[in-house]
Amino acid sequence: MPKKSITGQSWLSLINIDKVYSSDKQRQAFSLFTMIAIAIIVISMLVVFNYTVYSPILTASLIAVDITLISGTFYFIKTAKLEMVALISMCIVFIMCVALTYTGGKENTALYWLMFYPVVCFASLGVKHGCRLGLCLLLCCSIILYGPDFGQVNYGSIEKSRFLASFTLVFIFSFIGEYFRHKSHLAIADITLAQTQDAYTDQLTGGANRRFITAHFLKLAAKTPENYLPFSILLLDLDYFKRLNDTYGHDFGDTVLIEFTKLLDSQFPNSAVKARYGGEEFVVILPKETAPVAIKLADDFRQCVAKQAILTSDNKRVFITCSIGVAQVDDVDHYSRALKQADEYLYLAKEQGRNKVVSNHTGTL
């Protein structure tokens, strides 16, 4: 497992699993708008063929439901606010169900139409709101069926008891299904997030790895360029790292990499993305920073590294240095080109004696 205590984990907050959540949103939207489509068709047919039979209250309620459902659909298309549209739609259908129960519909068959409500309510609203609206409808129907006479139609005693028993069973099993589906979804989301974070974490240092930059960060920057562009790339390489390994052993080399990662995390701002790119090479991305600013930050870091002593297993103080190449990215599609430039500047820094910062903006520092 990655050593997550080594460095700060601000970069992990950039990792999301939108695909997992978007699939659940699609399920909710499909359930809701299937119900809306069926409801609009059925309600329209009921009004057209039965307006002479229905009471004026019921007819007006059905027409209002149709208009509201159609309006909600257009509102969703415009705003994509699924939760709000779902809640309003199910509240309107709730009112329609109460009106149906109160008036009886055609030949007192209204109760049959209520059975679908808990299923769609839980599917489109989830456990919390689905449970509230379902229980409220059950309570309202119970009052209408068994409460005092305030103008509602009369149902047979057997019909009332069978309806309440059937509705309660549908509600209970809909609740059980949605509750455990939701728990399973959250568990899968947690596992997916943990696996994604692990895949993007360098196992030695606990910081981000190269895959995080190429597979996640660049997609994020392309999706919301206003939050990241322009950004600067710092390509850093530890000087004489092979010599350190050969002289003090690979365990000390690992210690150097870990301590260097700590310095990256402490010396650059939290908004910066720091990653181990491979071996002793690291990359730092500075969102919303141009190359001149990045060069100054890079040189401050270079000087900080040169002053830090790392202790060997026998308490010998060893000083390290790093070379840095800097380039600027104005378009995410040009990232590879900018990275290649930073690599060329890093090579120049090595050629010019190491422990330097090189960029096309200032030459060598």
CB of 263 closer than 8 Å to CB of 297: no
Whether cis (ω within 30° of 0) applies to the bond prior to 118 is no
| Cα 48 versus chain centre, distance | 45
The 8 Å CB, 24+ separation contacts for 217-221 are 217/14, 217/273, 217/285, 218/332, 218/335, 220/14, 221/287, 221/332
Active site residue 280: yes
DSSP lists the bridge partners of residue 234 as 284, 326
First to last CA, the chain: 38
- Among 159, 280, 281, 351, which one carries the catalytic annotation? 280
CA distance linking residue 344 with residue 360, whole number of Å: 10
CA-CA distances (angstroms) from residue 336 to 133, 136, 236?
Answer: 53, 58, 16
CA distance linking residue 357 with residue 286, whole number of Å: 16
CA distance linking residue 52 with residue 321, whole number of Å: 90
Please report which residue ranges of 147-240 form alpha helices under DSSP H.
157-199, 210-211, 218-223
Over the Cα atoms of the chain, what is R_g? 32
- Strands in the chain per DSSP E: 208-209, 231-238, 273-278, 281-287, 309-311, 317-319, 322-329, 357-359, 363-364
Region label for 318, one of left (φ > 0), alpha (ψ between -120 and 50) or beta (otherwise): beta
If you write DSSP's letter for every residue of 277-314 in order, what string do you get?
Answer: EETTEEEEEEET--HHHHHHHHHHHHHHHHH-EEE-TT
CA distance linking residue 359 with residue 295, whole number of Å: 8
Q: Which residues are catalytic?
A: 280
